Every structure is written in C-alpha cells, then in structure tokens.
A and B are shown apart, each in its own frame.
Chain A
C-alpha cells in the first residue's frame, strides 16, 4: 500500500525531479527541528519556575535544577537555532514555486517570527552568561522575554502553516496574485486553533521529556528532593497541557470538516459518506475498499461533527486527483490521537491518585511509563505534523497551489537530501554524547563543567 501511494509520484513524467527529494528533505529537517523548537518555546517557562523557587524560596535544590537546565538549554537552543535556519533556506531552495509567487502574501509572519527569534537569542545569551554576574532578580527576569517570544514565535510560524491550510489575504486574477493583504493572510481563519494546538503540544513534549529524565533517575534508585522536584515541575506543565490538548484538537478537527473535507475524510478513513459515521480504528484503504478496521458505531460523527448522526463526508465526494495519500494520513492521525489520549489519561490518573493519597512516584511501572512518555509525546507531535501535511496534499496552498508547482525544478536535490541526512545524524549523535556526558559529570559531583581545554574555572560560567 505504501508503494501504491508513492508510485504515482515517481512514475508520472511531468512532475519536477526535485519533488520527491524536496518533500523528504523538508520532512526530515522539519521533523527534527520541531523537537528543538518545542524546547525553545516551553523550556524557558519551566526554568523560570524552578529558578524563581530557588531564589525567592531560597531553595538550593531548585536553584541547582535551574543551573543545569540552563546549561542543557545552551546546547539544545544552539542546535535549534541552526536547524531553524535550515528551514528558512529550504523555503526558497526547495519550494521556489511557493516563495516566488506567494512570498509577499505569506512572508509577514515570518518577519515577525524573526523579531521574536532575535529577542529569544539576545536574552538567552544574557541569561546563560549572567549567572553570578547580575543581580539575582534581574537575572531571573531575563527568562520572561524568552517565554513571551516563544509564544509569539509559535504563533507566527504556525500562522504560515495555517495560511497554507486556509489561504486568505489575496486574490488570483488571470493567474496573477493580486489584492494582497498580508495582515489578513497572517490572521487567517485557522491560525488561533492551530497555534493553540502546537503551543500546548510543545509543553507536553518538553514537560514529559524532562520529567522522564528524572523518572529514570528515580527508577535507578536516586530518590531525593532533586529528582522529585525535577520530575514534578515539568510534569505539572505537561499534565495541564495533556488534558487541554484533546479539547483543542477536537475543536480543530471540527473546523476541518468545513475547510478541508478531503483531509477529514482521510483522517477518518471515510471512503463513502456515512451518517451516522463510525469511528474506524486502524484499517487501510486498499483498492478503494476499507479493510481491517475496527469500527465503533456513531463515534466518528461524535468526534468529527460533535453530533450523534451528522455525516462525515467521504472520499467519494472528492475527485481522486485531489485525494491525499489516505493511508499515511489516516494512520498518522490516529496514532497521534491514541498517544494523546493515553498521555492525558495517565496524567489524570496520576493526580487523582495523588489526591487520594497514593504517590505513583513510588510505583516502578508508573516510572517506566513516565520514561517513555517523553518519546511518546515527541511521536505524537511528529504524527500530527505528518497527518496535517500529508493530509493537505496534493496541495501546498489549499486549492490554490499544487505541490508539483511549488517544488524546485532542479535536479540533484537527492544530493542535498543525503547531506542533510548525514549532518542531522551527526548532530543527533553529537547532542546525545554531549548531553549524556554532562549528566554523568553532574552525577559525579561536578557543578560547573569547565571545558576540557583552558584553565579550570571557579566561577559559574555555564
């Protein structure tokens, strides 16, 4: 079934040679960067909480966490900054048909994102190097503009994606793009919900990844205040986010019925229009027939339409040339939903039991789950992006610009894709080796982690 979805792309003669490698390269670099972007968005807020507790509550354990998280963010934000730059270049290098024609429609939010990236980078530099060099309160305050710019930056970047799903702010007359209103493009109909979905998702990813690190320590028997606080603060953020996320996702999904019915049909694996529509768990579309799915009656209508019997429009209402790759979209979407529901459920369970006086942090099975909850949240974000991006195909800009017309006509993009794979693999290994060695040295009792060259330092330079 994968072949049947990929083959037309490969076989058809009039597609640009750059289309497939451009798609793959964009997917890899976006899928890699989004994890780091989550840290840029959500981590400063969490550091603020422990740092504030450290100096206001005079809590050395919390202050120690803030120092370590600051050093970790120095590594993560550096690779996040450069992998974000890759995406800026790729917008033009891979999708000249989009940028050349619509650059002045969609570009303004990117310009605002540049502003927030500026603010984040400046205050990151001040925060990282400000330890012991500034009054404590002012130093703490440097995290506030970082947190705010994370919100603004998320809004701006997601705004462009929302515009691709909900094009606005222009008209096409005789093939020419006119009547451009970049503000309307920026504040298009889909932006607020999509922004909320991603922003909350970032807190799930960072909260669960960081709390998972401390759950791992607890599992290894390192039961102390440091690990308990290191688990609890990010887990509180992640819990709130995990409970809010299904609600946001539900409202967003209902909107898709009105704006992108083909995407919804693929999400729900709706081959024909049915009302009431069942929820199809799993399953594949093979030769235009749905197979191997577990159907739960009426639940499809409830979830997608907020109604007991409203129909979910099927793929039969859409010309086959406008179908997205249905199976990839469907499976990615449902994987996201299943993981998200699981994470929300576990978060609710943890706090319910804690309210009833039972602490799950003493339960080894819970700790094991908490360790994998971080990777699961990352997977959910990846699946979500795959679902929305693949589900928008064959369009880059919904019903305005086809992806074949957006892609580069250049040959040789396979080479740049190969280069991206090699460099990103190297960066992943490098980050893993360095972060693991930092954790080991901290466990061994080191605090400042001076560089291996250069004089040993006493002052707390991060």
Chain B
C-alpha cells in the first residue's frame, strides 16, 4: 500500500464518519420539518435541539477534515473538482451556512414567529446540503470530473448517478437521524414521541433500502466503472448493507430502539464504504488514480502526523462528548 493510499483511506474514513455523525444531524431536519405545529411538534423540536445541540459543531468538523486532507494530499484533483462542481458545492455551502446559523438562532429566538422562520430555514437547509454533497459524490463516481478541471458545469452533477447520489445521501441521513432520535426519545422516557417517530423511521428505512438498491440500476448504465466495482470488490459490503438495514428495521419494529442504532449505522456505513471501495483505485473515476493525484511525499507524511494526532487528541475527546450525551445527567 502506497503512502498516497494510506492518506486516501484516512480521508475516506473521514467521509464515513461525517456521513454517520454529520448525516444524523442533517437528517434531524426532516423530522423537524414534518413535526407539525402545537404541542407534539414542540416536543419533537425540543428533542432535536437537545440531541444535536451539543454535537453538531464537532460533527461538522469532519467535513473540514476531509477538505483539508483532499487539497493538501491531492491538490490538483481538488482543484479539478472545485472548478467543475462549482454550482453544487456552492449550494451545499449555502445549506451548511443556513443550517448552522438558523439552528443557533432558533434556540434563542424570543418569539414563536422568529422560531418558526429560523426553524423552517434550519430544517429545509438540512435536507438541501446532503443532496448537493451527494450529487458531488455522484459526479466523481461517474467519471464526470476531468483531471484538468473545468468540466461541464451542469451535466457534471445533473445526471442519473448524481441524482441517485443526492437522494441516497438525503434518505440515509434521515434514516440515521430517525434511529438516533427514536432512541433518544425512548431513553428520556417519552414513549409517545418514540412511538410517533417509530412509524416514520420504519417508512423511511424501507424507502432507503429501495432507493439504495433501485439506484444500482441507473448506475449500471451511467457509471460503469463504479458499477463494476460495486458488483466485484464491494459486493460483500452491499450484502452487509442489506442485512444490517433489515436488522435495523426489524429492531425498530420490535421497539428495540437502543439496539437498532448500531445496525442502522452499519448499514449506512457499508453503503458509503461500498462507494469508496467500488471506485478504488480511482480518486476521480476514469480520470485520475489515487497514486497519480498524490502530492509530495513529505506532505503526505505530514498529513499522517495530523491523522495520528487526531487519533490521540480528537477521538478520545469526541468519545467523551458522545459518552456524556448518553449519560443520565445529560438525557434530561
């Protein structure tokens, strides 16, 4: 394994963690948006505040982690992607800004009218962001980002694979968020809210499974290289995703909310990992491999120092934060 591959794996680990942790934060927007008015909506929104409030900023940093490793480790491929995918990246960015700002504003709003406005922006932008990030993934995976950059500014991200990528990002976020929120509601003793969420998450879970596997059909024709990888080296991961997804839905059905979170995360993680393994060894599919895109060796080694420090400094701290949010004192 080359130095470049190790750095690419470290970067892709960031993608997986961001999809799981950041994804669950984004997905909460769906339940917030569909919470309805009145008492029931208020309780769900308070749960969303409480569940993602302490963690969303930390989870968001994984995106920064991915970006800095990408442009430092693989600079020309990064410039190729940003010049080609200017529009979806800019739109995802707008969603990120609006989501974070309006989430903080809503919590400290003085009136219900303000809270409604900020809440609608928060929830809406929570769904826009993963969609556009998903189209970016689809563009890269279907070979639409030329190595020299400045590819087609519309077709690169408005195509079957990108649309599948965008929808898939949205539904997996919503599914994960649902699994986490239901468990949080049950842990806080709010059985009625957990029950209300359970129905929705079951529906979302089934829809997610359908989109993931139905999406394979357009990808077969639109992104042959990725499709080949998904059927070959990544096929085991597809099986894992299907099994774990089924287990998660079954556990939710049987009201084993706490346990259901783990197979839900495994299922989504397997889908994301499947994409990465499926397009290996390409960084930009059909255009540049990981090794060809790599920057200077000294810099790659420096990045591994950063990754190592992240393992020593960030992971224990993050674990402490996530552990705290699950303790009895932090549940209420």
Contact = CB atoms under 8 A, between A and B. Distances in A.
Q: Real complex partners, A and B?
A: yes
B60 A81 contact: yes
> Taking chain B's interface residues, is the majority helix, strand, or loop, or is none over half, making it mixed?
helix
Interface stretch (A266-274, A325-333, A369-377, A431-439): A431-439
B186 interface: no
A181 B82 CA distance: 25
B82 A99 contact: yes
B283 to A, nearest CB: 13
Contact of A454 (B46, B99, B150, B309): B46
Contacts of A183: 298, 302
Contacts of B69: 111
Contacts of A97: 79
A111 B111 contact: no
Contacts of B100: 78-79, 81-82
Contact of B150 (A75, A93, A409, A440): A409
Contact of B306 (A101, A115, A431, A433): A115
B82 A96 contact: yes
A401 interface: no
B1 interface: no
A180 interface: yes
Nearest to A84: B64
Contacts of A454: 42-43, 45-46, 49
B103 interface: yes
Interface in A87-102: 88-89, 91-93, 96-97, 99-102
A453 B39 CA distance: 8
Contacts of B108: 71, 74-75, 434, 437-438, 449, 451
A78 B314 CA distance: 19
A440 B110 contact: yes
| Most-contacted residue by chain B among A83, A117, A128 (CB, 10 A) | A117
A447 to B, nearest CB: 13
B55 to A, nearest CB: 6
Contacts of B303: 107-108, 111
A103 interface: yes
A285 B81 CA distance: 42
B299 A105 contact: yes
A435 to B, nearest CB: 8
Given A85-B96, A121-B60, A124-B57, A453 B90 contact: no
A113 B86 CA distance: 24
B72 A452 contact: no
Interface residues of B, number: 82
Nearest to B47: A454
A451 B321 contact: no
A452 B314 contact: no
Interface string B42-62: 110110011001110110110
Interface in A156-201: 180-183
A423 interface: yes
B104 A122 contact: no
Interface in A420-462: 423, 427, 430-431, 433-434, 437-438, 440-441, 449, 451-455, 459, 461
A437 B118 CA distance: 15
A368 interface: no
B149 to A, nearest CB: 6
Contacts of A88: 64, 67-68
A310 interface: no
A85 B298 contact: no
A145 interface: yes
Contact of A122 (B71, B83, B314): B314
Interface string A39-76: 00000000000000000000000000000000100110
A416 B90 contact: yes
Contacts of A365: none
B105 interface: yes
A145 B76 contact: no
B110 A452 contact: yes
B111 A126 contact: no
Given A111-B303, A128-B54, A410-B86, A104 B64 contact: no
A430 B105 contact: yes
Contacts of B106: 451
Nearest to A92: B82
A129 interface: yes
A419 B298 contact: no
A408 interface: yes
Interface stretch (B195-203, B216-224, B324-332): B324-332
A126 B93 contact: no
A451 B49 contact: yes
Contact of A104 (B45, B73, B112, B119): B73
Interface string B223-265: 0000000000000000000000000000000000000000000
Contacts of B330: 129, 133
B61 A118 contact: yes
Nearest to B115: A452
A323 interface: no
Contacts of A83: 97
B107 interface: yes
A118 B69 CA distance: 14
A125 interface: yes
A100 B68 contact: no
Contact of B83 (A410, A427, A433): A410
Contacts of B107: 74, 451
Nearest to B43: A454
Contact of A125 (B57, B67, B295): B57
Contact of A182 (B54, B76, B298, B324): B298
Most buried by A among B94, B100, B302, B320: B302
B12 interface: no
A100 B79 contact: yes
30 contacts: A79-B101, A82-B96, A82-B100, A86-B93, A86-B97, A91-B71, A92-B82, A93-B90, A99-B71, A100-B79, A103-B74, A103-B75, A105-B296, A108-B303, A114-B306, A118-B313, A118-B314, A119-B317, A122-B58, A123-B317, A133-B324, A134-B324, A182-B302, A183-B302, A408-B83, A451-B109, A452-B111, A452-B112, A453-B42, A453-B112
A-B pairs, top 8 by smallest CB distance, nearest first, are A107-B72, A103-B75, A104-B295, A100-B79, A92-B82, A78-B104, A454-B46, A180-B296
Given A114-B306, A118-B58, A434-B110, 19 more contacts: A88-B64, A89-B93, A99-B82, A100-B78, A101-B75, A103-B72, A104-B75, A104-B296, A105-B296, A107-B75, A121-B60, A125-B53, A133-B330, A409-B83, A409-B150, A410-B153, A430-B102, A433-B114, A451-B49
Interface of B: 41-43, 45-46, 49-50, 53-55, 57-58, 60-61, 63-65, 67-69, 71-76, 78-83, 86, 89-90, 93-94, 96-112, 114-115, 118-119, 149-150, 153, 295-296, 298-300, 302-303, 306, 309-310, 313-314, 317-318, 320-321, 324-325, 329-330, 332
